[in-house]
Amino acid sequence: MVVPQLVQILRTLVTTGYSTEHSISGVSDPFLQVQILRLLRILGRNHEESSETMNDLLAQVATNTDTSRNAGNAVLLETVLTIMAIHSAVGLRVLAVNILGRFLLNNDKNIRYVALTSLLQLVQSDHSAVQRHRSTVVECLQETDASLSRRALELSLALVNSSNVRAMMQELQAFLESCPPDLRADCASGILLAAERFAPSKRWHIDTILHVLTTAGAHVRDDAVANLTQLIGEAEELHTYSVRRLYSALAEDISQQPLVQVAAWCIGEYGDLLLEGNCEETEPFQVEEEDVLALLEKVLQSHMSLPATRGYAITALMKLSTRLRGDNNRIRQVVSIYGSCVDLELQQRAVEYNTLFQKYDHMRAAILEKMPLVERRDPHVKEGGKEKQTEAQLLEVTAPAPTEPQATKLLDLLDLLGDTSEPLSSGHAQYLPPQAPSPGETLIHLLDLPCAPPPPAPIPSVRVFEREGLQLDLSFMRPLETPALLLVTATTTNSSKEDVTHFVCQAAVPKSFQLQLQAPSGNTIPARGDLPITQVFRILNPNKAPLRLKLRLTYNHSGQPVQEIFEVDNLPVETWQ
């Protein structure tokens, strides 16, 4: 075993030192120290005895290395990475995170960037230790360097939880108002995802989304409008509050298209509540029917309004025809005007609404009733915006390093393991036929040579997902030297006629397992069955418990974003026994 020898060499370098010609900035041969630490990291990974041998030395290096020079910082960084890669003691891991926290206070931007990147990699496995440096991370949001502020944003979003969501959202919303344009989309999406997962109340959730739409409405995700309308529809006790807040926001600014769409929808659905009187939770103001109609007409006539926004506005006007007490002639006239609109969708709506006024007026009130609530299909979305603690305690998530920094992907991963009681979108896994043994394997089996034990029987592959030509297969291998370790290779192919882009596969396992996701071979799957994407999952199962996987796939296909979340719970018994 070479670990004791390497430990002794490194201890000699740290304590006694070599000749002065190998000393750089007071650090004894930092190049040799870095190489030894990298080798120890490889030897100690998934090897408890070797990890225990080097624990004391790593603590000694972490506490005795001079950090006044870059040479010492380089040695310290390799020490931190080694501590996090092996089976180190809890106190040693906390020490490593604290070292990275000190790096955040360094004047060198490169060192701060390395610290933020390293903490981002550790936030899933050592969340509480990284959480202690939250205030320093938030301060890094104000960095003038774009790469630093982006890393700080990703880490800040990853640190949001149910106990600090109010404070963190205040910091992130303040950053959203002043952040560079290239970060605004990531910041807005991250805030919306964190609010959806950790919202302490429905009203807080609605206020948070409204603030994002008001501040950066043009940069939010495409589903932000649908999510907010669903949230408002579910919160019946907040209908009056919501419609008055949205009316006020729309009266101030009609340039933010998602905000205008939500406001038009809400006014159309609950316009009667807008006119009934004041709400105790909002500033008192009086709204007249003429004011509401004039505001929606302003939206229709504005050059900033998208065709979809005009569709929301004319539908809102039509719904108000059954909710307002005054004469509907003004609404009829507006609808008739847009019956000759050049936009086909808007013209069709106007013609149909005009027919409803004329030929089917007796049915208009019934047809334009309030929209029923649509049941959410995503299994990870909880009613009322709150997560179920039982599921959060049962399972934990480990995310792969993304090929490009995207805060949306980081917070989306935190939401993978939701309620498993909902039906899964991809159904049960289907077994694929195992590969036939090679002639060499058959010969060894026949001769039964004592010097070469027969290899284990191959584990059958599993097809876990298939949709519109996209297929995901899992193949398995258990190394003989580490029976508790399972190597899962996820192979994704695309037989459709169009490429699949921005493909990301994320996974989760129960807490009794340890999961490490290696980087995928790419994020674009060529059409017609060309080169597939492969990604390796390393799953450690020391208790030999039945294996459960939960997968989340996000990708773009045919110009449309797709998201699939499903559970794989009928894997072959050979994967865990």
pLDDT digits (tens, 9 = 90+) for 308-330: 999 999 999 999 998 887 778 88
pLDDT, greater one: 196 or 407:
196
**Predicted confidence band at 299 (pLDDT cuts at 50, 70, 90)?**
very high
Computed over every residue of the chain, the mean pLDDT equals 80
Please state the rounded mean pLDDT for residues 430-441: 46
What pLDDT was estimated at residue 472? 92
Answer yes or no: is pLDDT of 449 > 70.
Answer: no
| Structure-token pair, residue 508 | 């989760």
CA distance 4 to 39: 12
**Predicted confidence band at 20 (pLDDT cuts at 50, 70, 90)?**
low
**Predicted confidence band at 548 (pLDDT cuts at 50, 70, 90)?**
confident
Residue 180's nearest CA partner among 218, 142, 135, 214 is: 142
Count other Cβ atoms within 10 Å, centred on residue 171. 18
| Structure-token pair, residue 233 | 């529809």
**Predicted confidence band at 443 (pLDDT cuts at 50, 70, 90)?**
very low
Determine what percent of the chain is predicted with pLDDT higher than 90: 16
Please state the rounded mean pLDDT for residues 386-415: 38
The angle formed by the CA atoms of residues 337, 262 and 406, to the nearest 5 degrees, is 130
Helices (H), 482-540: none
| Structure-token pair, residue 140 | 């890094």
Q: φ and ψ at 452, to 5 degrees? A: -130, 95
CA distance 284 to 227: 28
CA distance 197 to 412: 9
Give the DSSP letter of residue 369.
S
**Predicted confidence band at 283 (pLDDT cuts at 50, 70, 90)?**
low
Residues 6+ apart with CB under 8 A from 366: none
Render pLDDT for 101-149 as a digit per residue (tens, 0 to 9).
888 888 888 898 999 988 988 888 888 888 888 899 999 998 888 899 9
Render pLDDT for 470-514 as a digit per residue (tens, 0 to 9).
999 999 988 887 888 889 999 999 998 888 888 999 998 888 888
Answer yes or no: is pLDDT of 447 > 70.
Answer: no
Answer yes or no: is pLDDT of 402 > 50.
Answer: no
| Structure-token pair, residue 36 | 């030894």
**Predicted confidence band at 405 (pLDDT cuts at 50, 70, 90)?**
very low
The angle formed by the CA atoms of residues 95, 44 and 74, to the nearest 5 degrees, is 50
CA distance 513 to 509: 6
Count other Cβ atoms within 10 Å, centred on residue 307. 12
Give buried/exposed letters for 226-247 (b at 16+ CB in 10 A, else e). ebbbbbbbebeebbbbbbbbbb
| Structure-token pair, residue 314 | 């004319």
pLDDT, greater one: 452 or 537:
537
Render pLDDT for 140-197 as a digit per residue (tens, 0 to 9).
998 888 899 999 999 999 999 989 999 999 999 999 988 888 888 889 888 988 998 8
